[in-house]
Homo-oligomer: A and B are copies of this chain.
Amino acid sequence: MTDFSQSRAAFDLPEGVIYLDGNSLGPLPRSAAERVSRMMTQEWGRLLIRGWNEAGWYVQPRRVGDRIAPLIGAEPGSVVMGDTLSIKVFQALSAAAQMRPERRVILSDSGNFPSDLYVAQELVAALERGVDGSADRGLELRIVAPEEVEAAIDDSIAVTLLTEVDYRTGRLHDMAALTANAHAAGALTIWDLAHSAGALPVHLAEAGADFAVGCTYKYLNGGPGAPAFIYVAPRHAETARPALAGWMGHAAPFAFDPHWAPASGIERMRVGTPPVLALTALEAALDIWEGVSMDALRQESIRLSEAFIAAVGARLPGLPLASPRDPERRGSQVSFRHPDAYAIVQALIAQGVIGDFRAPDIMRFGFTPLYLTLAETERAADLLAEVVLTEAWNQPEYRIRAQVT
């Protein structure tokens, strides 16, 4: 068994907290604050504008992308950082749709993030409407149940837009099989790796994925609002053309050419000035991954989640598991359903166990072997059982919903 005590020591975790919400916001790497502070005082403060060249800020989005690539099975030079996940979904989708101009359907599923669906809906609406509001070209965002995706892939589909791990249930799509199905039908694939990157082994190149996107504030621990990444398969990198084009994605940004010409390769997916502070915090977080085997991480993740399910099941046999029982069909989280899920999660937080709630009735617990131990997992299961059995959640203060939950 791999020993994760070294990676655990690399995080600054509050005393008395069992953190099962690293799938929402990863904890602070110990080196991150000092790294950002040094970047600010030594680079920004001393170099000023020269930092773009001399401190490597300009190439940082690609340099960081090259560090994320091995974590998601991507070819070197196929990943670049920037913006947010929604922006990257928009770019991937607009580029992919243009590559299948004769097709009319974007296929997604009801287990996808609503935010991905919003981006797709409003992009479809804009393209459909054009600028004059009159067009009707039958362009469609088709949303089916997750288990119906395979059967729904046919030769009407331009592109599939799927999130590999369902943010509520943790259900894991079979990326390789669905990508093969899509390609057999002549469609392209976009994979959202928000709950995959840093959570389990991902093999983009091996699966033949066309596009992928993801965020870095969850399992990659980049901090609140950390930038997103986008992957374009090298075979598409010279043809993909995003509808959202910025100067950093220009072939010659500092020629100030009035016409946009896409940069070679993945760089064309850059848009505006990169977020140097956030990328610097992320670089500190990525140091922790050096030497971590994704297969070993997965093995430990399954050990933790299986232990949690077993322990909760033993104490609360009637509590419905919302996640697949088979660990091979699950990401790195476990969800249970309860009509009072919100209040239970609040009561657990009051006891130092941080999980989260997803509407309408999901209690969600993320397992992050980099810093979470088996003992904590078992303690969390005990406390969950106690809160449910004693109805400790049934207090007014746990029922008031905060603005963000």
Which A residues are within 8 Å of any B CB, using their own CB? 12, 14, 17, 19, 21, 24-25, 27-28, 32-34, 36-37, 40-41, 44-46, 48-53, 57-59, 83-87, 90, 94, 97-98, 101-102, 104, 110, 113-115, 117-119, 121-123, 125-135, 137, 139, 143, 158, 215, 217, 223-228, 241-247, 250, 253-260, 271-279, 281, 349, 354, 356, 358-359, 402-405
Contact = CB atoms under 8 A, between A and B. Distances in A.
Q: In the complex this chain forms, how many copies of it are found?
A: 2
B273 A275 contact: no
A115 B273 CA distance: 11
Contacts of A246: 84, 86, 115, 118-119
A280 B383 CA distance: 36
Given A126-B127, A224-B57, A14 B48 contact: yes
Given A87-B87, A225-B276, A130 B122 contact: no
B48 A245 contact: no
- A-B residue pairs, 6 tightest by C-beta: A84-B272, A115-B247, A118-B260, A126-B243, A225-B275, A224-B276
Nearest to A129: B98
A84 B224 CA distance: 17
A42 to B, nearest CB: 10
B28 A49 contact: no
A143 B24 CA distance: 45
11 contacts: A25-B48, A36-B40, A36-B277, A48-B354, A52-B224, A86-B271, A97-B131, A217-B273, A224-B276, A225-B278, A253-B404
Nearest to A57: B224
